Amino acid sequence: MPSSTVLIPPRHYLNDGYGIKSWLLTRDHKRIALLYLASVTFFFFVGGAMAVLIRLDLATPAGDLVTDETYNKLFTMHGVMMVFFFLIPAIPSVLGNFLVPIMIGAKDLAFPKLNLFSWYIYVVGGLFTLYALITGGVDTGWTFYTPFSTVSSTTNVIPTALGIFITGFSSILTGLNFIVTIHRMRAPGMTWFRMPLFLWSTYATSLINVLGTPVIAITVLLVAAERVFHFGFFDPRVGGDPVLFQHLFWFYSHPAVYIMVLPAMGVVSELVAGGCRKPVFGYAFVAFASLAIAVLGFLVWGHHLFVAGESVYSAMIFSMLSYLVAIPSAIKVFNWTATMYKGSVSWETPMLYAYGFIGLFTIGGLTGLFVAAIAVDVHVTDTYFIIAHFHYIMVGGTIMGYLGGLHYWWPKISGRLYNEGLAKLSAGIIFVGFNLTFFPQFVLGYLGMPRRYHAYPPDFQVLNVLSSAGASILGIGYLIPMFYLMWSLRYGRLAGSNPWGSVGLEWTTTSPPPTENFAETPIVTWDAYDYHAPVEGHVA
């Protein structure tokens, strides 16, 4: 409970050195998390600015704001920035970096120098992609489909591909670091089944990162090589197959959807448990659902190719496997909802984001049932229905989870509390703005408005204007937390070690924690979310 007598600890990771070198050469996972926080926020607002321009342009059917070329570059760079430089790294590299060692009672990750190196790789990859953007941009769509990307596009395909290639190594190394850390560095008594569920989902995500990312690296390298040397892997004129690219691309990029959403699911498990002061209902089912998603996620890439000349029977197999991967997601939603039953349910900001996540992810998941049904997918694929569906997962899911987590652990990260009223207001604005932006797009999609269209029939203007209006509301919703979180760094009330009255090792150390996280290594004798165990830092 926040109380008037809390003091800032005399020694913590933020005052352990002040110069620029103490940040750029740090090996502290918490400082590296903040380096990532600054960089992913930067890319989020770059990608977001492009989204705003796209929606402004689509306010009129003729697309009067920018040219065709510019429009195509905008949606391409929006996708590249958001997917590879925000959604994939955001939760693991910011919240994961900060929390994984603390949640298992360790002093740091297994490989602290490698962790810092991962951040530098990420930054170099990001600079490559920014260079591609500033020197003319790229117009292939974030999917780089061949042969358009290999023989037709005259834009900066190679620098963008190299940027993605480089950044991939950051994901692989971070994943490796988390896997080793979770295996080897758990505090005494911290068994696998006492771990917070955030760690299970981070672990599952890391597996996908390590196994899947090399495939996208090879794939974008093939595209670059084909552009330079004209090998013809994807060129039918010399016997290559353009659809082969799609198989390779989605073999990574479908699991990448789970790289984006699994960490958010982990965050929501923490938010729901903390917000209800109650163990997550069916802990083991939620934990294994994460692993099931990671494994099954590798077997469904073909559902992106239902209209791409896939054989009838492989389409059916991929359709069925896609339905199987829906089940663990459904299990999670039911378990989170059941956790609220007889909880001590909070209405504070982190919990508002959790409600938002569960609601929006449910709609995103249920519309996944539409697109896994092959006959319906034939009609809606490559339309705005798909755009709406995956934004419900990635924006409604991942970003809601990320913001919820940022608000939940902000007092731990900064030692201070933000303005709760403003935080609730912006959570509400984001929820309303999000639905106004993306719900009309389901209708547009079934009507038959294709994605990546700069101009559209005048009949569709009303729905597009609604969507554009929603996007401007959403944009404001995302800006507000920037201000009150920055403000809280200096003026916020001191949080104390456990402002929410939650259990979990991170709430037993000071806010902000010391560089070594704990004064002495904790010994764990209780299960995760045990609000009835007599442990230090818990409220009952």
Partner 1 sequence: MWSGTPLFPESASTMAPRVDALYFFLLAIAAFFSLLIAGLIVYFAVKFHRRSPDEVGARIHGGLALEIAWTVIPLMIVMVIFVWGASVYYAMARPPDETLNIYVVGKQWMWKFQHLDGQREINELHVPVGRAVKLITTSEDVIHDFFVPAFRIKADVVPGRYVNLWFNATKPGRYRLECAEYCGTRHSGMIGEVIVMDPSEYQTWLSGGSSEGSLASAGAKLFQDLACNTCHRPDAQGRGPVLDGLFGKTVQLQSGETITVDEAYIRQSILHPTAQVASGFQPIMPTFQGLVTEEQLLELVEYVKSLAARPETPAARPATGGPAPGEATPVKR
Per CB under 8 A, the list member of 127, 184, 448, 523 interacting with partner 1 is: 448
Per CB under 8 A, the list member of 178, 200, 251, 281 interacting with partner 1 is: 281
Q: State how far Cα 12 lies from the chain centre.
A: 28
303: left (phi over 0), alpha (psi -120 to 50) or beta: alpha
Measure the CA–CA gap between 302 and 519, rounded to whole angstroms. 51
Q: What angle do CA 227, 232, 235 make, to 5 degrees?
A: 95
Judged by beta carbon, residue 108 or residue 310, the one nearer partner 1 is: 310
CB burial class (10 A; 0-12, 13-18, 19+) of residue 330? middle
Measure the CA–CA gap between 384 and 370, rounded to whole angstroms. 13
Per CB under 8 A, the list member of 334, 439, 487, 526 interacting with partner 1 is: 334
* Peptide bond before residue 279 is cis, with ω within 30 degrees of 0: no
Phi/psi for 234 (5° steps) reads: -115, 15
Of residues 382 through 441, those in contact with partner 1 by CB under 8 A are 382-383
295 forms part of the interface with partner 1 (CB under 8 A): no
Judged by beta carbon, residue 26 or residue 468, the one nearer partner 1 is: 468
462 forms part of the interface with partner 1 (CB under 8 A): yes
338 forms part of the interface with partner 1 (CB under 8 A): yes
Binding range to partner 1, per CB under 8 A, among 123-131, 218-226, 376-384, 507-515:
376-384
Token pair of 292 as six digits? 């099931």
Phi/psi for 301 (5° steps) reads: -60, -30
Measure the CA–CA gap between 351 and 342, rounded to whole angstroms. 16
Binding range to partner 1, per CB under 8 A, among 84-92, 104-112, 331-339, 508-516:
331-339
Measure the CA–CA gap between 96 and 411, rounded to whole angstroms. 16
344 forms part of the interface with partner 1 (CB under 8 A): yes
Judged by beta carbon, residue 281 or residue 410, the one nearer partner 1 is: 281
Of residues 469 through 508, those in contact with partner 1 by CB under 8 A are 501
242 forms part of the interface with partner 1 (CB under 8 A): yes
Q: State how far Cα 3 lies from the chain centre.
A: 34
Per CB under 8 A, the list member of 156, 209, 381, 488 interacting with partner 1 is: 381
Of residues 502 through 531, those in contact with partner 1 by CB under 8 A are 531
- Nearest Cα residue to 315 out of 369, 372, 381, 380: 372
Binding range to partner 1, per CB under 8 A, among 6-14, 179-187, 330-338, 490-498:
330-338
Per CB under 8 A, the list member of 337, 428, 479, 482 interacting with partner 1 is: 337
* Nearest approach, Cβ of residue 114 and partner 1 (Å): 37
- Nearest Cα residue to 78 out of 148, 119, 166, 137: 137
Judged by beta carbon, residue 111 or residue 446, the one nearer partner 1 is: 446
376 forms part of the interface with partner 1 (CB under 8 A): yes
* Nearest approach, Cβ of residue 276 and partner 1 (Å): 5
320 forms part of the interface with partner 1 (CB under 8 A): yes
Phi/psi for 416 (5° steps) reads: -130, 160
Number of residues that bind partner 1 (CB under 8 A): 98
Of residues 126 through 155, those in contact with partner 1 by CB under 8 A are 139, 141, 143, 145, 147-148, 151-153
Per CB under 8 A, the list member of 69, 112, 211, 227 interacting with partner 1 is: 69
* Nearest approach, Cβ of residue 163 and partner 1 (Å): 20
* Peptide bond before residue 512 is cis, with ω within 30 degrees of 0: yes
